[in-house]
Amino acid sequence: MDTVPDTVRWLVLAGADEAMSLLHQAARMNGFRFLPRAAGEVLIEIPRSLFKRRPISRITGHATPTQSGTEIVWACGDEKHRAGEFLLCLEESLPDGTLDYHGLVEAAAASGVLFEGKKAYRNIVNSLRADESVLAVASGEIGEAAGIVALTDRRLLVVNVGVLGPPPLLEAPLDSIGTLTLGKKSSGETVTVGLGPDGVVISRMGYSGDGHVIVAKFRELMNDRARTPAISFVPHDAEGRFDRAEQPNPANGKSTNIQGPE
């Protein structure tokens, strides 16, 4: 059974009024009711259906304007599986490009990975942090479990294709990975992730260079990190001034500390 998180975050790439209008249309397309609420609150009512053996249900969300659009955080409640299905129905009824998928759509287009519906996107997005970006994706397997490999600006993830939401098959922060090693077998490319004494092998990554894309992007990202200088801060005293003992002398060797008369 799918594992649905307690909350599902959407970022609608539109202002609040347009976002509510799009959501209203999506609800109507599915036979749901978009009920007016106070500003910032969203309520969708799913009518009872004897044919679908569906009791009356409600899903609620909270909308917040952001610089990028409108963030809606949905509360899945006690019946998380049912709420997840209703949210997917709404999501699939929204026009393409309405929701932010953290760069996942663009990364998939660049690598040629095909996703079967928006549920596949949601599988990955539910595992991401709000400010996390996907840089490269591929398909692969860990053991006998098929998954989507996603390299983000923070982690390497392998998310189970058939499971909605966390936990991923693999979750490794970039700094914890020693190396990514590309290999080739008759079943396709492999990537060995440098974790622990034996590493973790992602296999069956196809023959079109999907594994190479993940490894190349990882090396590029780590090289960029290595070239970024660390930022150091000069201590301040209690009043927010630079500590005089920490101030460097100018090139002429004379102190710039000027003390006025008492």
Residue 86: which domain range?
7-93
Assessment of whether the complete model's pTM goes beyond 0.85? no
Q: What is the pLDDT of residues 131-171, one digit of tens each?
A: 999 999 999 999 989 999 999 999 999 998 766 655 789 99
Do 38 and 111 lie in one domain? The reply is no
> Tokens 């990554």 label which residue?
205
- As a whole-number percent, the residues of the chain with pLDDT over 90 amount to 60
Do 75 and 144 lie in one domain? The reply is no
User: So what's the pLDDT on residue 238?
Assistant: 46
Q: What is the pLDDT of residues 100-113, one digit of tens each?
A: 999 999 999 998 88
Do 157 and 215 lie in one domain? The reply is yes
pLDDT exceeds cutoff 80 at 31: yes
Q: Is the Cα torsion angle 243, 246, 250, 254 positive or negative in sign?
A: positive
pLDDT exceeds cutoff 50 at 130: yes
CB-based contact 146:160 (threshold 8 Å): yes
pLDDT exceeds cutoff 90 at 49: no
The three-point CA angle 156-83-100 to 5° equals 45
Q: How many domains does the chain have?
A: 2
Do 179 and 208 lie in one domain? The reply is yes
Count the Cβ atoms, other than its own, within 10 Å of residue 76.
20
171 within domain boundaries: yes
CATH of the domain at 48: 3.30.310.80
Do 108 and 217 lie in one domain? The reply is yes
The token duo for 159 is 């998310």
pLDDT exceeds cutoff 90 at 176: yes
| Rounded CA separation 214/211 (Å) | 5
| Rounded CA separation 71/68 (Å) | 9
**Nearest to 179, CA basis, from 157, 194, 197:** 194
User: So what's the pLDDT on residue 232?
Assistant: 53
The token duo for 48 is 């009872």
The token duo for 167 is 């936990």
| Rounded CA separation 42/40 (Å) | 7
pLDDT exceeds cutoff 50 at 240: no
DSSP 221-236: HHHHHHHSPPP----B
38-48: average pLDDT: 92
> Which of the listed residues 31, 61, 93 is the one where a domain comes to its end?
93
User: So what's the pLDDT on residue 180?
Assistant: 96
Alpha helix segments (H runs only) across the chain: 16-29, 80-93, 104-111, 118-125, 210-227
CATH of the domain at 156: 2.30.29.30
Cβ within 8 Å of residue 170, ≥6 positions away? 142, 147, 156, 157, 158, 193, 200, 202
232 within domain boundaries: no
User: So what's the pLDDT on residue 82?
Assistant: 87
